[in-house]
Amino acid sequence: MSHAAPLFTLVAGETSGDSLGAGLIRALRAHYPQARFEGVTGPLMRAEGCESLADIEALSLFGVSEVVGQIPRLLRLRRRLAAHVLSARPAAFIGIDAPAFNTGLELRLKSRGVPTVHYVCPTAWAWREGRTRHIRRAVDRLLAIFPFEEAFFARHGIPVTYVGHPLAGELPRHPNADTARRALGLEPGARWVGLLPGSRGAEVSRLGRPFLETARWLTRRSPGLRFVAPMANARVRALFEADLADYPDVDVTLIDGRSREVMRAVEVLLLASGTASLEALLAKTPMVVAYALSDSNYWIARSLSLIKTEHVSMPNLLAGRALVPEFLQQEASPDFMGPWLYRLLHAETARRRQIDAFDGIHARLALDADARAARAVVDLVEARP
């Protein structure tokens, strides 16, 4: 194939992957203006001119029960994609996240001579480290979005390039709380605390009440505090509203979506561990993080040593230390979370310790990930005869 007009096949697994794919396509076009793109796409990738072989919704699955029921269909889709790619022989196949689907596909393609790239490292550094053997056989180049991932995968003999995190390049280094409050219609003079109990029903079922109990704990010690909770979807809102009915003494404003604006608007955050903790870090908002699996899942994960890391929240993983308080399982209660939130509301030194560290991490993540990822793909393509 001519390097002047190469074909690239990209398979994205969810909304975040659609955004990564679109940015990568734009950056690859700077190197190859005549390049063609195809794959499993979302609306952002299609807007960049990527031909759709299947819609991203085909891979967007949550929860074991959903996945199990879909396995036959997913295997058929993977076989169809493999046959297509082996026929089309693209300059590179790029799997974006969705490791359960993509690394199996990459393994098949790499063994047949198609260069493979996997964008966003599987979390083998956190659990199931044995997956690294499979990844090493499946990928020619792994693209890491967090700096600590590069050393981990390199140690396992996997070619890896740290490209930075695209979100760190998109979000402002110095966000303005007043602007966010005006945009959300929140009273500018009040003291606002953000509650983010999670984006999935199971999380909200476990954390909704502990978060509201903690809000009550704070209200009794700081009268006049106001709380705002962005709701990820209608199901989450219904669950949280049902809990909220038992807390008439707590002033909570519910907002549909707009979690990033809420993060910028408030003084402190209480949130479920996950992607939200990275977004909160980039918003420079002091936080307390809670994490709750079902008791049986947590017991299995710990007893089988599936969880490898000392910390669970992204700010602490990126800092390499206990930068933000984390409260797991039974410790996710007002007795533990309340005093820390109170401290972050009232002690400037505790606030500054988090905010200054967040700013330094933001700088290390903002490296123009699209351009660096494209450069790594180009280097792989150009190294081929």
Report the amino acid identity of residue 259.
S
Spatial separation of the C-alpha atoms in residues 59 and 318, rounded to whole Å = 28
Q: Is the CA virtual torsion 246, 248, 250, 253 positive or negative?
A: positive
pLDDT of residue 300: 46
11: helix, strand or coil: strand
Spatial separation of the C-alpha atoms in residues 311 and 326, rounded to whole Å = 8
Rounded to an integer, the average pLDDT of 122-147 is: 79
* Domain 7-164+367-383 shares a fold with domain 177-364: yes
Report the amino acid identity of residue 198.
G
255: helix, strand or coil: strand
Spatial separation of the C-alpha atoms in residues 206 and 203, rounded to whole Å = 5
Residue 304 clears pLDDT 90, i.e. is over it:
no
Residue 359 CB neighbours (<10 A) = 14
Residues in the chain: 385
377 and 94 in contact (C-beta within 8 Å)?
yes
Residue 206 clears pLDDT 60, i.e. is over it:
yes
DSSP 365-381: H-S-HHHHHHHHHHHHH
- Helices 99-111, 64-88: crossing angle, 10 deg rounding: 30
Lowest mean pLDDT across 128-132, 170-174, 177-181, 262-266: 128-132
pLDDT in tens, 18-62: 999 999 999 999 999 999 999 999 999 999 999 999 888 776 554
Spatial separation of the C-alpha atoms in residues 148 and 229, rounded to whole Å = 31
pLDDT of residue 15: 78
Helix (H) or strand (E) holding 107: helix 99-111
CATH code reported for the domain at 177-364:
3.40.50.2000
Residue 83 clears pLDDT 90, i.e. is over it:
yes
pLDDT of residue 255: 96
Of 265, 313, 321, 355, whose CA–CA distance to 126 is shortest?
Answer: 313
Rounded to an integer, the average pLDDT of 111-135 is: 78
- Alpha-carbon distances of 303 from 41, 298, 307, 308, 327, rounded to whole Å: 39, 8, 9, 11, 19
CATH class of 7-164+367-383: alpha beta
pLDDT of residue 63: 41
Phi, psi of 304 (to 5 degrees): -90, 5
Report the amino acid identity of residue 291.
Y
Spatial separation of the C-alpha atoms in residues 144 and 123, rounded to whole Å = 11
Q: Tokens representing 273? A: 């561990």
Number of helices and strands (H, E) in the chain?
Answer: 17, 13
∠ CA(224), CA(227), CA(232), 5° rounding? 170
Of 103, 101, 108, 100, whose CA–CA distance to 83 is shortest?
Answer: 108
* pTM for the full predicted model: 0.84
> What ranges do the domains of the chain cover?
7-164+367-383, 177-364
pLDDT of residue 65: 46
Average predicted confidence (pLDDT) for the chain: 88
